[in-house]
Every structure is written in C-alpha cells, then in structure tokens.
Amino acid sequence: MIMGSWACSFACALTFSSAHLASAQSPAPTGVAALLAHPTIDPALPLAEVRAYAASRVPAMPAVTTLADWKSFADRTRRDVLDKIVFRGDTARSWRDAKTTVVWLDTLPGGPGYSIKKLRYEALPGLWIPALLYLPDNVSGKIPVHLAVNGHDKDGKAAPYKQLRCINLAKRGIASLNVEWFAQGQLRADGFSHYRMNQLDLCGVSGLAPFYLAMSRGLDVLLALPSADATRVAVSGLSGGGWQTIVISALDTRVTLANPVAGYSSYRTRAEFPSDLGDSEQTPNDLATVADYTHLTALLAGRNALLTYNAKDNCCFATDHALPPLLAAAEPIFKLYGQPERLRSHSNSDPGTHNFEVDNRQAFYRMVGATFFPGDAAFNAQEIPSQPELKTAAELEVPLPSGNLDFHQLAVAASRTLPRAGAVTRATLAAVVHYQTPAVTATSVGTEIRDTTNATYWKLHVGATWTVPVVALTRGTPRGTTLLVADAGRKSLATRTEALLAAGQRVLAIDPFFFGESKITQRDFLYALLVAATGDRPLGIQASQLAAVARWARTEFKSAPVALESHGPRLGVAALIATALEQTAINTLHQTDALPSLHDVIRQNWSVDKYPELFCFGLLAACDIPQLKTLVGPGRMDQPAATHP
C-alpha cells in the first residue's frame, strides 16, 4: 500500500514520537552494554553490500552474432538449468522420470460453447494437482491448447479473472487447462508454503522440482488430448503465474506462445528494486550461475512471446524498471531468427496495478489471434462477456486423495536416510557451504573508555565484498581472546561479556552477515535467497567471516588462544562450521542454545523466511551436527551451557 504525503508525514511523526517516548521511558544502556550498542557501520551498508554483491554475480547475455552460436548456447543453457538446478539430486531426477498419472472426474456444464471437465494429475508420485479442462463443444480436427497458471491468489483456480480467460479461450475454440498452484486455492495449506520447499533443498533435493513438474505434467495432459495441436500451445499467468510462464516456456520448447504477466524481472533488477525479490521458487539455489531471467526471455526466440507489465504495479515488476532489460536482451535474439515481430510487449495503464484484467486479457487474445489464427477475419480479440458463467470455488473443487503429499512431507521422507553413509571431509563441507578464506583489512573507527573497560570499534573488510563490525573490549591485560556472536546480535551479550572480561578475556563482539548491526534493513531473507541464487550460501558467508576474524585476531593481538563462542541455533551452526574448517586460528568453541541436529529444522517444520542460512543446499545430505563436531576434533569444544529444544 502506498500512503499519501500527509499520511506518510503523520505516520513518520507518530513513529518518531513513539520511538522518542520509548527512548525516554527506557534508560540508555550503560557500561559494557553501551559499548556493545555503539554503532560501528552505516545502517545502510549491509543492504548496499548485498545488492552490489548479488548484482555483480549475475551472468550477462552472451555476445553471440550468429543464429548457430545462439542455438548452441540455448541448448546448453536449457540442459544445464534442468539438470543442474531443477532436477538436482537423485530424488528429483527420479520424479522427473515418473509417469504422468491422470484421473478424469465429473464434467460440469459451462456456458455457451464449452464444458468444464474436472481432473487431477500427479506432479510427482503422491503429489496431486487439481485442475479443470475448459473444452470447446463440437471439436473437429486439431485445436490450440492453453495452460492457465496462477500466482499468489487465495482463490486459486476459482479466481474470476482466471476463469474468464479460460472461458474466453474455450469460446474461441481453444482447450484451456486451469491448474491449481501450491499454497493457493485447494492447495492452500501450510505444508505447501513456498518457504517450506527449502526443506527439500537442505536434503539435497531440488525444491524447485515440484513446481516445474506441476507445469510440465500439465502440458502432458493437454498434449495427450486427441484434438491437441502440438504446434499451437500457449501458457499464460499473472504474478507467480507469470514466473511459471517464463520458466516452463523458456525450458520446454513444446510451448509456442508465452504470455507472462507481471511475473519476473532480471536478477540485476531485483537486486536494485526490493519489490521484485521473489519467493523461494523464483530465487532457487544457483540459478543465476547458469542463467538470468534475461536469458530465459531470450530462450523464447524462435517461438512467440507477449511480455505484459503494469505501469503502476502496486506489488512488483512495474513496467518502467522490469521490462526494458528483458526486451534489450531478447530483441537481438529474435532478430537473429529474422522474427522480431514474434516478440511483443504490453504495458497496462488502466488500472495499471497488479492485474490480469480485461485490458491485459484482450492483449493476450490479440496475440493468440495473430499467432494461432493468422488471417482469420472472424477472430475478434474483444472479451466476450461471461461473468454470469463464473462458478464458485465449491463448484470447481476437485476431489483429491487423502494424504496428498506436500513439501514438508516430501522433506521428511527425503531426510530419513540422511546424512549419507560415510565420514564427511573438510573439503566436502567447504564445498557444500561454499566456504572461502578471504583476506581481512581492518580499520579502527574509534575508541572509548567506560569505567575500567576499553573499547575499540573496528570495521573489518572481509575480502572485496563484506564489512564486519566488531567491538573489541578489554579490561586490564588480557590472557586470551574470545570471539562472541549471537543470533540476537552483539547488543544482547552484555552479561556474558562482563563475565568474560572478569575472567581476563579480550572480547571481540561480532555481528556477521545478516545479524545485529549487519542485518539487512529491507526484505532481509529475500536477499539471502538472492545470494544463494547467485551461487553463494549465507551460511558459508557467516562461517567464512567468523574464521577470517579469528585469523585476523590471532595476528593483530598476537594471541595464541582464540576462542569462539556462539549463542543461538543459527549462528551456532555457522560457528561450528567455522571451527571445523579453521583448524589453526580457532582454538576452542563454546556454544549456548545450540541446535542438536539439522533434522530439527525439518521436524519442527521451519521455513526459510525465518531461518534462511539453515537451508544450505545439501548440507544434511553431507553431514549433521554430530559429524560437524567430529570434524572440529577432540578437545576443541566445551560442553554447551544449554541446547536448543
């Protein structure tokens, strides 16, 4: 929602007044607490760094000059996205090879010229998708077919704008399959939450695979119709349906006409515009190491595409920033085919918000007419009024078998035999978390003394990308150095810091990537997903930063015993990995409220929006917490003060 200037001024004033009142009522921190709370970096810096980092890693379009070179690139890119991203892991590959099972059910009377057949099909064994086939009456010969996908709409396949699209196409002689999407409509259940697909990723099974299979099996259903014309196959959808449209259309060349509506933008665009950051399926692990959405758009060349965006989009993917980079990437490739007219775009201004209403539908009908019915003077792109024919969700409900599998149930099944047999090596662990050993450049940004405690505020530049804020505290002559981290940020560690100072320790209170002062200020976990999509892992970044700070501390303070201490289940895993992989600089590890097993992430049905770094792809397949402790080695871990329940 966008507020007017008066409302915004009032809200901002109210926020300031509330914050000021709270500040007046709560005493300012004193002593060690005040030192830990002292700002070290600009609050905007973590967001700026993650944006720049992600954007810099997105691949550019290839500099191809011949059609043969492009076709070679396109074939390789499709193969790599499917093999390395969509169907990653043995389980996902087995799903890919499964047979498409379809159960046809009742037929509903539609309106003039069409009927509606209910059906369900298996996207993968045990996971059924409810669907509706809008079938023209009096079919003779081969007819076009259309897959109608939808986005984040609680009404799912019953959404009026989706029904009207399918009805209008059926009245024009096109068979249209209206499929349900995960977490919407009939599949609106917690286990289908898109942020739970990452439980599969943790097990080394592509969480993207069910999404893709739901679409490709839908095409199987359509093309198995006796009347289906395999040369005239369309896909269209809004928002998440626009994302589905570009993905299936780019990668499955059976699609001959794609109309994604307000559904995606380049990863570079997303890094700059937080409104465009997509859910888990839109930002899958490592996709941007193979292809950006610019590449996927260009992969439509040789077929037909209508890219529809909305000028005043109040959700995401507004025309002015989302569309131009996609056209810039795709237009030269369509020209290589000698078919520039096959790439069209449409920007909706009435209402201009996030929609697939009549103006956008009619733009689609025009493209359908030009593509599937060229030269047919009788084809009319004006919408045929059909509102009285809309049906309720109850009327359109498709019976599903009991125990229909969801993402959580699939992950539970996948995790049962994990981790795989055999001891994990440090090299394997480093590869799984994408661990690095960057150099550190330290900048002191101030000192302060409170009572008998000395503080030095540091900005540690870790590699060429990240800035890690550190508060170094001493009292007297230190006998050792402890690196201190917490899920709640360093501000939460005043009591523990006091105890360590009293014990003669130098305390380095650290806020690594994503925590405390390093927390990203806008849509934080979506940027963590973006980092993973560009080929890194938030967990690996955290572990690499902790190890890098340990190496710096040992050199800077000439302190042989450097201990690492973590508080909380999330940074507890990062600290454990850092200690396992940094065998020299980290002497001992102490943990409080640590996670006893990665299986708990799945058992407790956690989601990536709450614990983004814990869903590191394939980590549970490689090892669990006990195996990580074995890698740490004997005598390097204190007994935890508490364990996470």
pLDDT tens digit sequence for 30-85: 699 999 999 999 999 999 999 999 999 999 999 999 999 999 999 999 999 999 99
Peptide bond into 351 cis (omega under 30): yes
Residue percentage of the chain with pLDDT more than 90:
93
- What are the backbone dihedrals phi and psi of residue 486, each rounded to the nearest 5 degrees, phi first? -150, 145
Q: What is the pLDDT of residue 419?
A: 98
Which DSSP state fits 640? P
**pLDDT tens figures, 578-588:** 999 999 999 99
Q: What is the rounded radius of gyration, in angstroms, for the C-alpha atoms of the chain?
A: 28
24 falls in which pLDDT band (50, 70, 90)?
very low
Q: What is the pLDDT of residue 182?
A: 98
Cβ–Cβ under 8 Å, residues 621 and 206:
no
Cβ–Cβ under 8 Å, residues 576 and 589:
yes
Q: What is the pLDDT of residue 27?
A: 60
What domains, with CATH codes, occur in the chain?
Answer: 29-53+428-632 (3.40.50.1820), 69-376 (3.40.50.1820)
Q: Collect all residues with Cβ–Cβ distance below 8 Å to 485 and sequence separation of at least 6.
A: 509, 510, 511, 512, 515, 546, 564, 565, 566, 567, 571, 574, 575
Amino acid at 629: K
The span from the first CA to the last CA of the chain, in angstroms, equals 38
Residue 23 has pLDDT above 70, yes or no: no
Q: What is the pLDDT of residue 447?
A: 97
Q: What is the pLDDT of residue 560?
A: 72
Q: Which two tokens stand for residue 211?
A: 């999404």
Q: What is the pLDDT of residue 638?
A: 79
Question: Looking at residues 511-529, what average pLDDT do you find?
Answer: 97
Residue 537 has pLDDT above 70, yes or no: yes
Helix/strand/coil for 289: helix
Q: What is the pLDDT of residue 5?
A: 30
Helix/strand/coil for 569: helix
Cβ–Cβ under 8 Å, residues 86 and 251:
yes
Place of tokens 């509330």: 18
Cα–Cα distance measured from residue 535 to residue 54, given in angstroms and rounded to the nearest whole number: 9
Helix/strand/coil for 253: coil
Q: What is the pLDDT of residue 561?
A: 80
Cα–Cα distance measured from residue 403 to residue 5, given in angstroms and rounded to the nearest whole number: 51
Q: What is the pLDDT of residue 16?
A: 31
Q: What is the pLDDT of residue 639?
A: 56
Q: Which two tokens stand for residue 15?
A: 């926020």
Cβ–Cβ under 8 Å, residues 95 and 84:
no
**pLDDT tens figures, 119-173:** 999 999 999 999 999 999 999 999 999 999 999 999 999 999 999 999 999 999 9
| Alpha helix (H) residue ranges in 451-537 | 494-502, 524-533
| Alpha helix (H) residue ranges in 224-318 | 240-251, 267-272, 287-290, 293-298
**pLDDT tens figures, 398-453:** 999 999 999 999 999 999 999 999 989 999 999 999 999 999 999 999 999 999 99
Question: Looking at residues 549-560, what average pLDDT do you find?
Answer: 91
